[in-house]
Copies of this chain bind each other. A is one copy, B any other.
């Protein structure tokens, strides 16, 4: 984790916590819909919220992951899990909520993941990929544990917005813009693209000769 006294560090930490919260909500909602119990909800919330960052931290050598040594990072998914557990009926139409939380987490994590990889000395291309992994990793682990093929592979535009959002953030930092200036529009592009893709049913291209499902 970068020095929290710096502006970039504060932005990173704040966005990270927000991303963890919304991703953990999506994990908790999947767990509720799978009829798991309280601890299944907490575990799935935690893995969805922290899993992408763990995968990124393992690959860039940032161990132990910062989120393990900062109680706020550990309490946020617990809080999200409890919120999901108690208030899921009031949350109403879950399908849309899961999709929205997922898209918001996607946008936040692709940016924070890419910025952290840059801060650990990775080049622009690997940093953008680490941003994408941070964004899609938690959801992939969530889907694997919930016993379904990961959303990211299931024919919807998902990985691309994350990669593009991460690439925008990397490009901005490479152009010497402050991280705080870069982060928000890059995240908005990713989340907005993802939400539009869901709403309009945009699909990534399919292999020629294979019928669309």
* Known A32-B207, A145-B144; contact A126-B43, beta-carbon cutoff 8 A: no
The smallest C-beta distance from A178 to any residue of chain B, in angstroms, reads: 25
Contact with B along A142-156 (1 / 0, CB 8 A): 001111111011111
Q: How many copies, total?
A: 3
Number of interface residues of A (CB under 8 A): 65
Beta-carbon contact of A140 and B147 below 8 Å: no
Task: Report which of B37, B145, B205, B209 forms a contact with A38, defined as CB distance below 8 A.
Answer: B205
CB closest residue in chain B, given A163: B39
Which of A4-12, A68-76, A103-111, A180-188 is the interface stretch? A68-76
A201 at the interface (CB under 8 A from B): no
The smallest C-beta distance from A74 to any residue of chain B, in angstroms, reads: 6
